[in-house]
């Protein structure tokens, strides 16, 4: 499965995740219901941007799974959590746009809430990497924030030395947030068959005001 060893990227918006996970509380396990609908037990999956193991721990109950993330801190937390659970998963320090795995290593890639933290060139490179490490007919499961989300806005951001990118913002933490449109998602996943693409909107009330959380959730198959 492994092709080589990859280290954490020196890019500031990647390095910011170590600081983030140093104080980020465990939010409990994440739902993998959609993965279980499509993937048979025992399949080989990549959790791309696995963080502290929110989804990885659940995936490990049913699948052969590898978690990849840029944060050493997050992966160490994930390893500890998996060790206590009695389930097994491999961990790799890697950026999504330079994955250290051989072509065709996986039957599925889960990427929940991660592509939104990459600049455009990195998002495009990440999807190309998904194509490379997936077997033909392999699936990508993803979630991203939409451009109508209540948190849209902030300091416009772009790669170092380049102009700001559309719908992309820098938080005080040093982490970037990009907010997607449906058209952009379909363009990004060119070469995939759309099995499912949903817009999910939820109302949030804060100090008497109603705000909208918007996400896109999708399942795409590599042609």
What number is the average pLDDT over the span 70-75?
Answer: 95
- Which pair of structure tokens corresponds to residue 136? 């033909």
Based on the structure, what is the number of domains in the chain? 1
Residues 25-68: pLDDT tens digits?
877 899 999 999 999 999 999 999 999 999 999 999 999 999 99
Of the listed ranges 7-11, 128-132, 174-178, the one predicted with least confidence: 7-11
Structural domain for 34, as ranges: 12-143+177-200+215-222
The reply to whether 161 falls in a domain is no
Residues 154-166: pLDDT tens digits?
999 999 999 999 9
Any idea what the CATH number is for the domain that residue 139 is in? 3.40.50.150
The reply to whether 126 falls in a domain is yes
Is pLDDT of 5 > 80? no
State the sign of the Cα–Cα–Cα–Cα dihedral 104, 106, 108, 114.
Answer: negative
3-state secondary structure of 132: helix
Is pLDDT of 8 > 80? no
Residues 128-148: pLDDT tens digits?
999 999 999 999 999 999 999
The reply to whether 165 falls in a domain is no
**Mean pLDDT of the residues in the chain:** 94
Residue 24 confidence (pLDDT): 82
Asked if 221 contacts 195 with a C-beta cutoff of 8 angstroms, the reply is yes
The reply to whether 78 falls in a domain is yes
Share of the chain above pLDDT 90, in %: 87
Q: How far apart are the first and last CA of the chain?
A: 21
């Amino acid at each position: 499965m492994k092709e080589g060893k990859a280290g954490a990227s020196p890019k500031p918006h990647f390095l910011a995740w170590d600081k983030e996970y140093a104080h980020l509380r465990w939010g409990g396990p994440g739902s993998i219901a959609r993965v279980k609908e499509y993937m048979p037990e025992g399949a080989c999956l990549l959790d791309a941007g696995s963080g502290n193991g929110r989804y990885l721990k659940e995936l490990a109950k049913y699948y052969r799974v590898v978690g990849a993330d840029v944060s050493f801190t997050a992966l160490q937390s994930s390893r500890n959590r998996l060790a206590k659970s009695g389930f097994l998963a491999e961990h790799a320090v890697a950026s999504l746009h330079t994955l250290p795995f051989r072509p065709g290593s996986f039957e599925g890639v889960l990427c929940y809430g991660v592509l939104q933290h990459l600049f455009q060139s990195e998002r495009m490179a990440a999807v190309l990497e998904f194509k490379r490490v997936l077997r033909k007919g392999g699936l990508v499961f993803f979630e991203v924030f939409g451009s109508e989300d209540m948190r849209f806005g902030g300091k416009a951001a772009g790669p170092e030395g380049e102009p700001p990118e559309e719908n992309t913002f820098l938080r005080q933490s040093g982490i970037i947030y990009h907010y997607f449109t449906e058209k952009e998602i379909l363009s990004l996943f060119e070469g995939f068959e759309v099995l499912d693409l949903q817009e999910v909107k939820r109302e949030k009330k804060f100090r008497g005001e109603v705000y909208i959380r918007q996400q896109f959730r999708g399942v795409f198959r590599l042609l």
